Chain A
Amino acid sequence: MDFDYNSLMAFIIFGVTIGVVYGIVALGISLIYSGLDIVHFAHGEMYMFGAFFGLVLANNVGLPYPVALIGAMILTAILGMFVERVFYRRLTSAGGGYTVAGMGMIICGFGMSVALVNVAYFIWGAEAEPFRANLDYIPRLQFAGDIEVPESYVLTAVISVVLMAALHYFLRHTKMGLAVRAVAHNKDIAYLMGINVPLMISLIFGLSCALAAAAGVLIGPMQSVQVEMGYLMLMKAFAAAVVGGFGSLPGAILGGIMVGIFENLGAAYISPSHKDIYAFLLLILVLMFRPSGLFGIEAKVKA
């Protein structure tokens, strides 16, 4: 393909719009990791469930898209808290990281992933479902050089930024956010300070799953919704989280955007047929030169 500045800008802009979605899923993964010292392998399924909740609320119940988005986030948060409380609590309370319980948690996450996929198959079947969202009230963005960004991409970028800002505000400027950070820093000391640690852990899970749901509802109108949609998103979000530095919230966002741009440029200028490889190439490159990721803490020891 001949080099063309406008095309390059278009690929970067589209890369950013998908990248912020990777970013908000990665944000949830990083939030759980920083809070509980575990990697949640069923997070892709939370993203999928969120998309289906949004679809049901928008298409079947007839709610406006923004309301469906909020509804899906709430429902998925409840699902996430339920899963944490009923299935993960015993393991997470026994510790995470490199402990036996931590390994058990990883395996439990895989099991939960399979279970949730099958539950979704049972409820919604295997066929992809169209997510009809009326986005006519959102303007198409017009950039110089005939670059036009469709409504759904504009909405994705705007909502993702709003969610990130809201999460940042919650964690940095509210008492509950302070409690969440305290639990993430050290659960034992948080207990001694009188913080309800189990409640905060549930809250972390709920928040993370709500973010995944938002990503699912944002992607739904572009790619339709189906049971198997979670796996690839999980892989990309993991790549984003690792590139940004596992456990780092700003890193997750930046990693997501980098993955989005990198895979879009790779698809444009190398080969579009191998688009999914580029995210992992970036991951390998970052791990080679900066194993802790761009914003990761070099000497963080999990126990």
Chain B
Amino acid sequence: MNIMKSTFASLLVGGVALASTAAFAGDIRVGITMRMVSENGQKYGQMMMDEIKAINDSGGINGNMIKATLMNDECKSDKGVANANKLIFQEKVHMLIGSTCSSVSLPIVDVTAKAGVAQLIPHSTNAKITQKGSEWVFRVPVSGRYYGGVNAKYVGDNIGKKIAYICAADAASVNDCAAMQGQIKKQFGAEPAYIANVQEKEVDFRSHMQKIKSMNVDGIMVAALAETMARALMQSYEAGIGADVRRIGSSSASNAPVPRIAGDAVKGVFFTAAYAAADQRPIAKLFNAMVKEKYGIHAPDHDFSQAYDLVRIMEQALKSTDLGLDSASLKADRTAIRDAIAGVKNYEGLASGPISFCAAPTPQCRDGNRTAVLIGYTKGGENFETEVLARVTMPIEFGLE
């Protein structure tokens, strides 16, 4: 009886071990966590999955399939961290992609650093993300430290130095606002004319706009997530602040809900981003056409372009690795993927400039894209239009002094 029991137990343990090994073998597991509460978010999440499927359909990575798990963090840090933990410790992913919100990407940096999993960020601009010193984090988008410099230079040279700031409480906007204020002060010696720190989803800006109106400022910077920014822009006109006072957007001005909600109030607003739909390069035109046809998006913003670029960078990096892809090699595979991403040099895709990474866990090595494109809205509404005002590549050390 005892022999039977121990034989059965051995078979059971062996079976479970075999089954779990089989489940882990062969596939490159990629976890994705990003904000997908809006139609835009859902569609670029879908685009990412479609691009990964296209890689698999054309033979995969060195014969191995990519198994991607997409999760929605709703731009909430607690959900993002929970997703990251689930993907890393339960799904045992080889690498993590995410998030698209700085306030979510920031805490996930600690999770991936502790677990030893490469984190490739599709869209988060807060400069602190790469300043934490993690060996595992790589940023595809342009860092806020570069955006601030480009915005400040353009504003100081072309608009004026008396600037009012409306800064929402989300991590990206806080960073964008601080970077702009710091650069205006550094480059032109000007202090902010007015600063209002508002809630992430503020709905009523009328008190601020009345105060700003009485100050005769040269420009108003609105650093906020898309919907909040749109409301602020509309209410600035309602308050009677004329079009001669230029409106400056943070990087989320690139998101389609801004012109859609703000309508005519978005005309003349300019901002820095990592991709312009008005880009005349053939690759950009093809991308615009593909996104319009497949996802019904009028003009893709840099969330779309960065998601696309990220998949290409991941593909390039994974192809250069030799992965074991079994449970025993998980740690080594994760490290190999990190090193492969660090080896990506001068990737040229849709982004405003070439993307390069290197091994040191510093912002210089991990902020991949240093080129910001300055974009202005020429028309608002569903069928909004933009123009490229300038394209500026910043020195690698910029904003770190």
Contacts and interface: CB of A to CB of B under 8 A. Distances in A.
Interface string B161-202: 000000000000000000000000000000000001111010
A224 B207 contact: no
- Summarize B's interface: helix, strand, loop or mixed: helix
A11 B257 contact: no
A7 B196 contact: no
Interface string A108-131: 000000000000000001111110
- Most interface-central of A10, A11, A128 (chain B CB within 10 A): A128
A268 B210 contact: yes
Given A125-B38, A127-B39, A268 B207 contact: yes
Interface stretch (B230-238, B274-282, B351-359): B230-238
Interface residues of A, number: 33
Nearest to A273: B197
A228 B210 CA distance: 26
Contacts of B50: none
A154 to B, nearest CB: 11
Given A130-B260, A226-B227, A273-B198, A150 B240 contact: yes
Q: How many interface residues does chain B have, given as a range?
A: 20 to 34
A11 B37 CA distance: 35
Nearest to A4: B214
B86 interface: no
Given A222-B238, A267-B207, A125 B197 contact: no
B78 interface: no
Nearest to A132: B263
Given A11-B207, A14-B210, A272-B198, A224 B230 contact: yes
Interface in A198-256: 222-224, 226, 228-229, 232
B211 A268 contact: yes
B302 to A, nearest CB: 18
Contacts of A226: 227
Contacts of B231: 128, 223-224
- Summarize A's interface: helix, strand, loop or mixed: helix
Contacts of A224: 227, 230-231, 234, 261
Nearest to B260: A130
Contacts of B234: 222, 224
B245 interface: no
Interface in A70-129: 125-129
Contacts of A232: 203
B207 A264 contact: yes
Contacts of A7: 210-211, 214
B211 A223 contact: no
A238 B59 CA distance: 61
B208 A127 contact: no
Contacts of B201: 228
Contacts of B260: 130
Given A130-B262, A150-B239, 5 more contacts: A127-B37, A128-B231, A224-B234, A272-B207, A273-B196
Interface of A: 1, 4, 6-7, 10-11, 14, 18, 125-130, 132, 148, 150, 152-153, 222-224, 226, 228-229, 232, 264, 267-268, 272-273, 275-276
Please list the 7 inter-chain residue pairs (A to B) with the smallest Cβ-Cβ separation, ordered nearest first: A267-B207, A128-B227, A273-B197, A126-B37, A130-B261, A223-B203, A150-B238
6 contacts: A11-B207, A128-B231, A223-B203, A228-B201, A268-B207, A273-B198
